[in-house]
Amino acid sequence: MSDVTRRLLELLAHLQTGRRFSGRELAARLETSPRTLRRDVERLRDYGYPVTTQPGPGGYYQLAAGQALPPMVFDDEEAVATVVGLGVLAASAPDAGGIGSAADRAFGKVDQVLPKRLRARATAVRATVEAAAQAVPPVGADALATRAAAAARHEHATFRYTSRDGSTSQRRVEPYRQVHLHLRWYLLAWDRDRADWRTFRLDRISDITVPGTRFDPRPLPAESAAEYLRDKLAEPRHRTVVLVDAPADRVADALKFADLAIEPLGTDRCRITTWVDSFEWLVLNLAFLDADFTVEKPEHFRARCRDLATRLAHAARGPG
């Protein structure tokens, strides 16, 4: 691929985010001069991409929205990432008529919108990459889009919600974010009747309506919706901090289904912070690592380890 083609693809990738970029910012990102940038923008316009320009001190470049564009342009890595992402989503959410079904349909046709040069590569990836199917609650693509539109436009939403015990309630909310965590989809919203933030499982929401009334957005209750959700889900569980004499990637692989953060402390040591329902589950999985570890917090986890050690030592003595 020539330097010009590669630079045009990178420029287009930035512009397709929908953001406004100053000429200085784009030139720095592309590691080129403002003059070359202007020529590249003109090349994109010649190819049919409607790049708008605002001159002056507050000037910017932006790809115009709401107009017909030429076929989608990917670089090699983006094409592979798109095909793999669709395949994983199709396998992890194989519900009929839901987002998994939509991803599966897109997975089978994405190569049709790729440049000829990339079609063979995308077809090869699609034919040889498989993701194991997982049983997850179904979430419809239309419902995701409806909530997304309401959150983006700051519009109220109402829906029927079914709780874990099967009881139902009518909820009136200000929707903010939809979060995917631990193979589940959640809605973070301000509950208007309870005057507090709430998270809702999307597969338990039904009969959603958006009446069109608007609200003034509130600041999120955390740095991100995902962080808030993770903290809320961790509240009833045990927080533990453990030093492990093993590389961070090895520990992450052994505890891949745990909710944890890993801090590497050199090449052969790391600190993990995790939230678990059972100390026993964690200590056994750490023991299977065949590496020394030290419990920093909490004290009752250390006490539980001592109890387990006594029991195991007794078992190792054998009969008699």
Closest CA to 260 of 280, 284, 228, 282: 282
Phi, psi at residue 313, to the nearest 5°?
-65, -40
Closest CA to 273 of 253, 309, 249, 244: 244
pLDDT for 114 beyond 80: no
Q: Up-side HSE of residue 54: CA atoms within 13 Å toward CB?
A: 11
pLDDT digits (tens, 9 = 90+) for 244-281: 999 998 888 888 777 788 999 988 999 999 888 778 88
Three-state SS for 33?
coil
Residue 194 tokens read as 């309870």
pTM score: 0.56
Is 226 or 13 the better-scoring residue by pLDDT? 226
For residue 177, what is the enclosing H or E element?
strand 168-181
Three-state SS for 274?
strand
Q: What is the pLDDT of residue 82?
A: 82
Q: What is the pLDDT of residue 196?
A: 92
pLDDT for 160 beyond 80: yes
Rg for the chain (alpha carbons), in Å?
26
Crossing angle of helices 23-30 and 3-15, in 10° steps, is 130
Q: How far apart are CA 199 and CA 176, in angstroms?
A: 10
Q: 87-101, 115-129, 145-159 — which is least confidently predicted?
A: 87-101
Contact 8, 43 (CB under 8 A): yes
pLDDT for 68 beyond 60: no
284 CA to centre of own chain: 29
pLDDT digits (tens, 9 = 90+) for 201-225: 998 999 999 999 999 999 999 889 9
End-to-end CA gap in the chain:
76
Strand ranges of the sheet holding 270-276, from the earlier edge strand across to the other edge: 259-264, 270-276, 238-244, 293-297
Number of C-beta neighbours around residue 53 at 10 A: 12
65, exposed or middle or buried, with CB in 10 Å at 0-12, 13-18, 19+? exposed
